[in-house]
Structure 1
Amino acid sequence: MVDLLEEYRIPATWAIVGHLMLESCDGRHADHPAPDGWFERERTDWQDREEIRFGPDLVRDVLESDVDHEFASHSFSHVLFGRPETDRELAVAELERSLEIASDWNQSVDSFIYPRNEVGHRDVLAEQGIQAYRSRSPTRYGIRCIFDLTVLNKSLLVTPTIDEYGLVDIPASLFLFGFEGSARTVAESVWDDPMVALARYGIDQATERDGIFHMWLHPNNLTHERDDRRMRAILSYLAQRRAETDLTVETMADVANRVTGGITAEADARPTVTRS
């Protein structure tokens, strides 16, 4: 993914789980207020599999890229902020630990991507100086997204807003791996990759009207050559349309800075709607 983004000179917001940046740990995290058993796999199933517990080399690849990517937080241990069992103490600990590790790497954090898009404890984000977060898409995944666009006449474009905490809420537009399995195989055999078609549609919408087309994926979605082909097709089309029109490509921090005019989450702000 890093190589593809460099090839097409496209910056991205990378949501980094803090634990990935560690070189090692005791697998217990006794000072962390996580629920009982939260780190159990580190001491059992994953005990001898450091490659899935630690990945600082992956983070270095992003930071050393020639493209100006954004370093963002995805929490410390992928705690689900929207769940009832995630209390304020745990949310604070997750964010504080992530920011501490980022600081050790000489990185600042402006954007937060909620694990599994479960939004919660936004006040904690504001208190810790976070500027923006990603919220859920107004359209659904996969074939249901096509239904939303064609039958319900929804748009893939989203509009960032400033919430009551002064944070910039940037909704997602399209999950690029929401159409998989046998359905994808059948569609590709008789037509085209449906996610490439949807991505091109969203890119074209963004060249024609106000709004943001906000694509996202997990890097671990890229498991086969056809996944690389999907991303190459989308990124090459994005680069082409950027060259042909006044389309711009922004990270989440870029969007937040433009929407707020540089005002931080700690400053006084009122809910408002801003179009790009």
Structure 2
Amino acid sequence: MGSVVLSLDAELGWGFHDLADPPSDRVESGRRGWSVMLELLEEFDVPATWAVVGHLMLDSCDGTHTEHPTPEGWFERERGEWQDREDLRFGRDLVTDLLESDVDHEFASHTFSHVLFGHPQTDRELAAAELKRSIEVATEWDCSFESFIYPRNAVGHRDVLAEYGVSTYRGWTPNREGARAVFDSMVRDQSLLVEPYIDDYGLVNVPASLFLFGFEGPARTVAESIWEDPMVALARRGIDEAAANDGTFHMWLHPNNLTTERDDQRMRAILSYLERRRAEADLAVETMADVAQRVRHSRGVDGVSTRIDTQAKASWN
């Protein structure tokens, strides 16, 4: 049976707080995109892996984080320019919406403060602190996670993930976004499927197949004017390929990629097509934890999926 996975990097302002000149349209669209994606996923009954930045789940914060071993200035924007922008720093309402959704989503981690695990300045102590704090915050919500998505796909410190009980992560696949992805798939007929596997730390790597917002700006406008949205075409191709070849197609995006109704229409078109193909073909929609469980089972290793427990929803705030 073929499989389609959709994962989201849910971060609000934390995805940009370390950038000198963050893209204002995406910074301001995080909340909108989060709500739109939840609505679309409910409409088409598509479960997804939501990797949430742990800081969003806090009640409040003074921005000091004195016991957190981040580099000097890491929380500077939170203490300064965004001090009065709680809508960018916190998202308890959005996380509650996610956890209380009628769809069986997976709650996953995107670190505590969007630290880049693959960056040379991120040592083991910092990686461990980010995971430890994420687990503490999730526990306060009666949540747990087994899947992890690296900020900006900077893979690193996989040994720390294994130590703290993470069992699966989204690996990075080169050339799977932008014009290169369109060329490789449509012209060179390169497959969009990926092969999840157990790495040397015992973690299941569920590699990315396609970033759904990697072909933007004037190029997207021109392509749509003479053809169609290239990312919708690629997504359909990946879905069809998964159904035909019993493979895995893993799409991903940030909620803040949905900056206008035009972006909403892209996601609606993709999810609508997925719904139709799921009904007519031997095709499953899985979360990353589902894939990890399947891979471990096929290798004779025990694994338990950690989708959101509906019986625990009443305890979430």
The CA distance in 1 between the partners of 2:295 and 2:52, in whole Å, is: 24
Secondary structure at the aligned position of 1:31 is classed as coil
The CA distance in 2 between the partners of 1:255 and 1:12, in whole Å, is: 12
Where do residues 184-223 of structure 1 align in structure 2 (5 Å cutoff)?
184-223=220-259
Deviation string 1:106-148 (CA, Å, 9 cap, x unpaired) is 1110100000000000000001110100011243311111222
Deviation string 1:234-273 (CA, Å, 9 cap, x unpaired) is 00000000000110000000000111025359xxxxxxxx
- The corresponding residue for 1:180 is 216
The CA distance in 2 between the partners of 1:22 and 1:148, in whole Å, is: 42
The CA distance in 1 between the partners of 2:273 and 2:64, in whole Å, is: 46
Q: Once structures 1 and 2 are overlaid, which stretch shifts more, 91-100 or 256-265?
A: 256-265
Q: Which amino acid aligns with 1:258?
A: R
Shift of 1:210: 3.0
Shift of 1:56: 0.7
Q: In structure 1, which of residues 95, 98, 116 is the aligned counterpart of residue 152 of structure 2?
A: 116
The CA distance in 2 between the partners of 1:41 and 1:205, in whole Å, is: 44
Q: Is the 8 A contact 1:42 1:53 kept in 2?
A: yes
Q: Which amino acid aligns with 1:181?
A: G
Q: Does residue 263 of the first structure (1) align with residue 294 of the second (2)?
A: no
The CA distance in 1 between the partners of 2:144 and 2:292, in whole Å, is: 15
- The corresponding residue for 1:90 is 126
- Unaligned runs of 5+ residues in structure 1 are 266-276
The CA distance in 1 between the partners of 2:81 and 2:174, in whole Å, is: 37
The CA distance in 2 between the partners of 1:191 and 1:103, in whole Å, is: 48
Shift of 1:188: 1.2
Secondary structure at the aligned position of 1:135 is classed as coil
Q: Is the 8 A contact 1:111 1:132 kept in 2?
A: yes
Shift of 1:151: 4.7
- The corresponding residue for 1:130 is 166
- The corresponding residue for 2:106 is 70
Shift of 1:77: 0.3
Q: Is the 8 A contact 1:158 1:173 kept in 2?
A: yes
Q: What's the Cα RMSD here?
A: 1.2
The CA distance in 2 between the partners of 1:67 and 1:211, in whole Å, is: 24
- The corresponding residue for 1:239 is 275
Q: Once structures 1 and 2 are overlaid, which stretch shifts more, 192-201 or 138-147?
A: 138-147
Q: In structure 2, which of residues 139, 142, 149 is the aligned counterpart of residue 103 of structure 1?
A: 139
Q: Does residue 23 of the first structure (1) align with residue 59 of the second (2)?
A: yes
- The corresponding residue for 1:51 is 87
- Give the share of equivalent positions with the same residue, in percent: 71
Shift of 1:154: 2.3
Q: Once structures 1 and 2 are overlaid, which stretch shifts more, 179-188 or 2-11?
A: 179-188
Secondary structure at the aligned position of 1:171 is classed as coil
Q: Is the 8 A contact 1:139 1:156 kept in 2?
A: no
Q: Which amino acid aligns with 1:183?
A: A
- The corresponding residue for 1:230 is 266
Shift of 1:192: 0.7
Q: In structure 2, which of residues 38, 59, 67 is the aligned counterpart of residue 2 of structure 1?
A: 38
> What TM-score do the two structures reach when normalised by structure 1?
0.94
Q: Which amino acid aligns with 2:302?
A: I
Secondary structure at the aligned position of 2:273 is classed as helix
Q: Is the 8 A contact 1:139 1:154 kept in 2?
A: no
Q: Is the 8 A contact 1:133 1:168 kept in 2?
A: yes
The CA distance in 2 between the partners of 1:120 and 1:152, in whole Å, is: 31
> What TM-score do the two structures reach when normalised by structure 2?
0.82
Q: Which amino acid aligns with 2:176?
A: R
- The corresponding residue for 2:7 is none
Q: Is the 8 A contact 2:176 2:209 kept in 1?
A: no
Deviation string 1:57-116 (CA, Å, 9 cap, x unpaired) is 111111000000000000000000001100000000000000111111111101000000
- Unaligned runs of 5+ residues in structure 2 are 1-36, 305-317
Shift of 1:153: 3.9
Q: Is the 8 A contact 1:170 1:252 kept in 2?
A: yes
- The corresponding residue for 2:178 is 142
Q: Which has the higher contact order (CA 8 A, sep 6+)?
A: 2
